[in-house]
Structure 1
Amino acid sequence: MLLLDAGSTSILSKIPVEKLETSRLWTCEALVQFPNEVLQHHKQYLQVCDIISTFTYQLDESIYDEQVEKIPLLEAYSRSMTLALQARQETHLPNKYIALTLGSHAATIPGAMEYRMVYDKPDDFDMLYNFHKNRIELFQASNPEAFKQIDFLAFESLPHITEALALLKLLADYKSWNKRCWITCTCPSIESLDRVKQILTALLDANSQYIWGVGVNCCHISLLPTITNALTELFKSHADKTIMLYPDGRGFPNPYTTSPNSETKPAPSPQEWAESSFEYSTLNSGNIVIGGCCETDIRHVDQLRSRYN
């Protein structure tokens, strides 16, 4: 098992409420306003985790306003990578990896559309292909040397199979930019499971040499037994791929979705979250990455690391 960090949501408390209410950048806003906090965030997680992720989930030219943010978009792209690289260099810890976090296209659309967006128009495939292609090319152009040192491309929170198919073609066309890549989709409720299985089946059955791992992010721990049963079946003939699993630390149901047949469950404590997540650390013969998603923080992954050790 490799341990992924808990993402970037724990830094939201550092961003003024009035800024969060108007910004579409979400946690990416910290890159602009609080770069030192981002650096310290990375350093803290490097003490516990094998992989840290950049503050770039929603960072895209379509929602970035240079007049408002006061720094050029390319500087923000570059800063996201250099802060993670600086943290790794200054902590002097071996075998630590950096993932460039790339949220789905739907993550740039207000209303938490990464949980329910459907792409069924004739031109959606090309639009999604170009969305991801252009964004990665901007990251690369912003700081070619830093981009070379990034270990993983992490495509997160896919809501629909069309985006998965577009990414399959893109990664093959560009040979995944010579990086290991993983793709995850959201599973906010049991009702979402058929969609999840459709996406993951397409990704695994492609047998792409450019996909290192696939799995699920943004799910409540109460869904883990059902999700992991599905993952176990899907990976029976794909053991060479890595399972990605990073559940939320918040309550259920997810406030941005509907799950009419589910009882309400409170947010788990960090200990409960870690205990639930640790149960699945041996899936796929241990070829799995486990981390935290929404409303998890260093306490959650620290508890998980303690159990694994």
Structure 2
Amino acid sequence: MSVQGTTLEDVFHQDISHALWSAKPIDEDPEVIISAHLAFLRAGADVILTSSYQCAYTTFERARYTQDDARRIMLKSVQLAKEARRRFLEEPLAASRDVKIALSLGPYGAMLYPAQEFDGFYPPPYGPALSPTQEKTNAFDDTPEGKAQEQAAIDELAKFHYERLCTFAGDAETWNVVDFVAFETVPLRREIYAIRKAVERFGGESMKPWWISTDYPGGRFPETKTDGGHLTATDAASAALLDGEEAAAWGFGINCTGLEFLPALLEEARPVAKKHLEKHGKRPWLVLYPNRGDVYDPVTQSWRESSGQGQKWADEFGAVVLVAIAQGDWEGVVAGGCCKTGPDEIAALAGEIRTRI
């Protein structure tokens, strides 16, 4: 599986330091989006994510687009992935490939500036109201009032995610192209609940296969507890797969996280996969797409490069994937790369996995 945002910057020399991030070239330079998709497909990716991660009416409004233009560009992101797949499948070496398209939907925090996927500091009504003298927190008070505010935040976040789902599904030609729906880089448990609520309202069990992918900067889930510490991957996986009565996610994921943290995080999530089997009679899928190891500063929008690139990254990540498969807790594993992983890393990963399964 491939994510193309930073590849547009690194390989195709696009300036994506913009409110729309990788969505900006959809309208201004669609051929570069197609080229990025093709680069990953030729490297061995079987799933490509649309360049719609930061596409939402609020982000387009901030970038001074009309609602009609926003909708048009959002739908176009899917059609560009479809065109890339069409071109690729006409190539001689692609005859036997089954290429899938995943609709990329970022969290509410990706629509903020600075982006808040890694901290989860959402403004009211999506997060707690704080006075200038209060320490920053992403947790509501553990009081009746705080719990009521948290439920109101879940309702508002559900509206946000439902609106985007309806935009893509409202156009049959676009929706028919989508094979998976990927809710990515979700930093808060309440947003996981909100996504499930949105999917339930949208159609629940009739939804296309969909996953909720969470992120762990520094190895920790961003949401804090009111009494200190952070929620865990167990908490995040339970929110996606077990808690409540809304439709459970088809898959649980970890993305935009350092590779070195995956083994411990997966050990935390494994018991939830077992309970999912007991509750639903089927195993969930696991979706893993860690970063290459570079560290991102959301304020300066710059990266500090790591040494774990290419084959080294693929060797280490491939070993993690093979262990997850062998343990048998998941129905299957979708594996790929997130920020700063490019076609070279995906080619190495594809070679590593396919020669060892």
SS of corresponding position for 1:157: strand
More displaced stretch, 197-206 vs 96-105 = 197-206
Shift of 1:291: 0.9
- Aligned counterpart in structure 2 of residue 222 of structure 1, from 242, 256, 260: 260
- State the AA in 2 paired with 1:228: L
- Is 1:76 aligned to residue 73 of structure 2? yes
Shift of 1:114: 0.8
- State the AA in 1 paired with 2:257: C
Deviations 1:140-181 (A, max 9, x none): 33x321212201110001111111111112212222563110
Quick check: which has more Rg, 1 or 2? 2
Q: Which structure ranks higher in relative contact order (CA pairs < 8 Å, sequence separation ≥ 6)?
A: 1
Question: 8 Å contact 1:186–1:196 — kept in the other structure?
Answer: no
- Aligned counterpart in structure 1 of residue 179 of structure 2, from 145, 151, 163: 151
- Aligned counterpart in structure 1 of residue 2 of structure 2, from 5, 11, 25: 5
- State the AA in 2 paired with 1:41: A
Shift of 1:203: 1.6
- State the AA in 1 paired with 2:178: I
Q: Name 1:248's counterpart in structure 2.
A: 291
SS of corresponding position for 1:114: coil
Q: Name 1:108's counterpart in structure 2.
A: 111
1:182-261, aligned counterparts within 5 Å? Answer: 182-192=211-221, 194-206=231-243, 211-238=249-276, 240-252=283-295, 254-256=296-298
- Is 1:274 aligned to residue 314 of structure 2? yes
CA distance in 2, matches of 1:187, 1:146: 32
- State the AA in 2 paired with 1:306: G
- Aligned counterpart in structure 2 of residue 180 of structure 1, from 196, 201, 209: 209
Q: Name 1:304's counterpart in structure 2.
A: 349
CA distance in 2, matches of 1:98, 1:187: 25
SS of corresponding position for 2:231: helix
CA distance in 2, matches of 1:65, 1:6: 25
Deviations 1:15-68 (A, max 9, x none): 654xx44x2011111212220011121122223111100001111110114985
SS of corresponding position for 2:57: coil
Shift of 1:86: 1.4
- State the AA in 2 paired with 1:51: V
Q: Name 1:289's counterpart in structure 2.
A: 334
Q: Name 2:99's counterpart in structure 1.
A: 96
- TM-score (normalizing by structure 1): 0.86
Deviations 1:188-242 (A, max 9, x none): 1134373433121122214865521012111111212212222333323335101
Shift of 1:90: 2.3
- Aligned counterpart in structure 1 of residue 58 of structure 2, from 62, 79, 87: 62
Shift of 1:91: 2.0
Question: 8 Å contact 1:43–1:88 — kept in the other structure?
Answer: yes
More displaced stretch, 59-68 vs 180-189 = 59-68
Q: Give RMSD over aligned pairs.
A: 2.6
Question: 8 Å contact 1:8–1:55 — kept in the other structure?
Answer: yes
Question: 8 Å contact 1:25–1:58 — kept in the other structure?
Answer: yes
CA distance in 2, matches of 1:168, 1:12: 33
Shift of 1:135: 1.2
- TM-score (normalizing by structure 2): 0.75
Question: 8 Å contact 2:168–2:174 — kept in the other structure?
Answer: no
Question: 8 Å contact 1:66–1:73 — kept in the other structure?
Answer: no
Deviations 1:261-293 (A, max 9, x none): xxx993411212111110122314371111111
Q: Name 2:146's counterpart in structure 1.
A: none
- State the AA in 2 paired with 1:127: E
Runs of 5+ consecutive residues of structure 2 not aligned to the other structure:
122-126, 128-139, 141-148, 222-229, 278-282
Question: 8 Å contact 2:232–2:268 — kept in the other structure?
Answer: no
Deviations 1:102-121 (A, max 9, x none): 00001111123111115343
Residue-pair matches, total: 295
- Aligned counterpart in structure 2 of residue 34 of structure 1, from 18, 21, 29: 29
Question: 8 Å contact 1:180–1:210 — kept in the other structure?
Answer: no
Question: 8 Å contact 2:219–2:258 — kept in the other structure?
Answer: no
- State the AA in 2 paired with 1:226: A
Question: 8 Å contact 1:6–1:298 — kept in the other structure?
Answer: no
- State the AA in 1 paired with 2:195: L
- State the AA in 2 paired with 1:289: V
SS of corresponding position for 2:297: coil
SS of corresponding position for 1:308: helix
TM-aligned CA distance change 1:67 to 1:124, over 3 Å: closer
| Identity among equivalent pairs (%) | 23
